[in-house]
């Protein structure tokens, strides 16, 4: 079915030519390609590739909504920066050593009272 002309997909299913090209490019990597979308809720449809092991991968998305590049989203998101900072701190060996040292110092200080 992926070999049919792109105009057929555009007319029959509303799938743009560029999306058809991406589906054809990904066809060799997946067992199946599905189109997911909601008619009741205004959401952009997506093409999803399904592997033998059940994993799913997003091939492309199209529709009304304008996509914002990930880098732009990351720059705008203070929550992303805070989360990233927290992960860096928690993964830091110096953080845990200094936390343990401060805890021991605090226990010794309280014990002296």
Contact residues for 45 (Cβ-Cβ < 8 A; gap 6+): 14, 15, 35, 36, 37, 61, 62, 63
Residue 39 DSSP label: T
Q: Longest C-alpha distance within the chain, in Å?
A: 84
Domain locations in the chain as residue ranges = 6-61, 70-112
User: How far, in Å, CA of 32 to CA of 49, rounded?
Assistant: 6
What is the pLDDT confidence band of residue 61, given thresholds at 50, 70 and 90?
Answer: confident
Task: List, for residues 7-48, the tens digit of each pLDDT value.
Answer: 777 777 777 888 888 888 888 899 999 888 876 666 778 889
């Amino acid at each position: 079915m992926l070999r049919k002309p792109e105009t057929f997909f555009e007319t029959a299913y509303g799938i743009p030519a560029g999306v058809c090209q991406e589906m054809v490019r990904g066809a060799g990597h997946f067992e199946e390609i599905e189109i997911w979308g909601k008619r009741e809720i205004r959401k952009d449809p997506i093409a999803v590739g399904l592997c033998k092991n059940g994993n799913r991968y997003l091939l492309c998305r199209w529709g009304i909504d304008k996509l914002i590049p990930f880098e732009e989203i990351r720059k705008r998101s203070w929550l992303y920066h805070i989360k990233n900072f927290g992960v860096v701190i928690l993964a830091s060996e110096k953080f845990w050593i200094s936390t343990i040292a401060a805890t021991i110092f605090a226990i010794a200080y309280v014990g002296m009272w």
